[in-house]
A and B are shown apart, each in its own frame.
Chain A
Amino acid sequence: KQEVTQIPAALSVPEGENLVLNCSFTDSAIYNLQWFRQDPGKGLTSLLLIQSSQREQTSGRLNASLDKSSGRSTLYIAASQPGDSATYLCAVKGGGNKLTFGTGTQLKVEL
């Protein structure tokens, strides 16, 4: 059974800092890995999707890497802003086209 862990559970940083969120998964037989953002009271917004054959994806200030063999992914956020404050979730797609989510990292970027 796939298990996804995200560390840290919560993170508070000053504005402008670069930061890294971590995601690990137990079963390396995945099709892709997706990073989502969730704002309070809102649904999930897809940030980046990395196929199993890819090593990384970039979108603006966000960069996600994937090391499938070691079961790890990182989300790098450059020059953090207060508007980046949200919960960040990673999810892996395994057999049966099923997404398994981590419990999320709650990020707060302070002025």
Chain B
Amino acid sequence: EAGVAQSPRYKIIEKRQSVAFWCNPISGHATLYWYQQILGQGPKLLIQFQNNGVVDDSQLPKDRFSAERLKGVDSTLKIQPAKLEDSAVYLCASSPPVLDEQFFGPGTRLTVL
């Protein structure tokens, strides 16, 4: 089966610009996650969707980050405006309704100059 797809793979922007990332989960996976992984650290959960509803966004910096999953399938994560400290890899993951296991996409590496 196809894995989790993410685009773009790499993005370089200047601070105060905006950027958007896209994720297409594995077909049939109801739960979708966005993680931020800063260099040398483990991934940190930003937001979790169950179908098109938000389950947990407690660690999402809502003043600049937003995410949506309108039809319960694809999702976009947006940063506006970006700061230097947002430089990181943004990982999308999905999990099926029954299994606990999360399956990760290749990530988007964001560099903010």
Contact = CB atoms under 8 A, between A and B. Distances in A.
Interface of A: 4, 31-32, 34, 36, 41-46, 49, 51, 89, 91, 93, 96-99, 101-104
A43 B56 contact: no
A43 B100 contact: no
Contacts of B100: 31-32, 34, 49, 51, 93
Contacts of B6: 43
B42 A91 contact: yes
A31 B102 CA distance: 14
Main secondary structure of the interface of A (DSSP, over half): strand
Given A34-B101, A45-B104, A103 B41 contact: yes
Contacts, number: 55
B44 to A, nearest CB: 7
How many chain B residues sit at the interface, stated as a range, is 20 to 34
B26 interface: no
B106 interface: yes
Interface in B1-55: 4, 6, 31, 33, 40-45, 48, 55
Contact of A99 (B40, B41, B55, B102): B102
Contact of A89 (B42, B45, B55, B56): B42
A4 B42 CA distance: 10
Nearest to A45: B104
Most chain A CB atoms below 10 A, which of B4, B6, B102: B102
A43 B107 contact: yes
B90 to A, nearest CB: 11
Contact of B55 (A32, A34, A93, A97): A97
A41 B109 contact: yes
17 contacts: A34-B101, A36-B104, A41-B106, A43-B4, A43-B6, A43-B106, A44-B43, A44-B91, A46-B101, A49-B100, A49-B101, A96-B56, A98-B56, A99-B102, A101-B42, A103-B40, A103-B42
A36 to B, nearest CB: 8
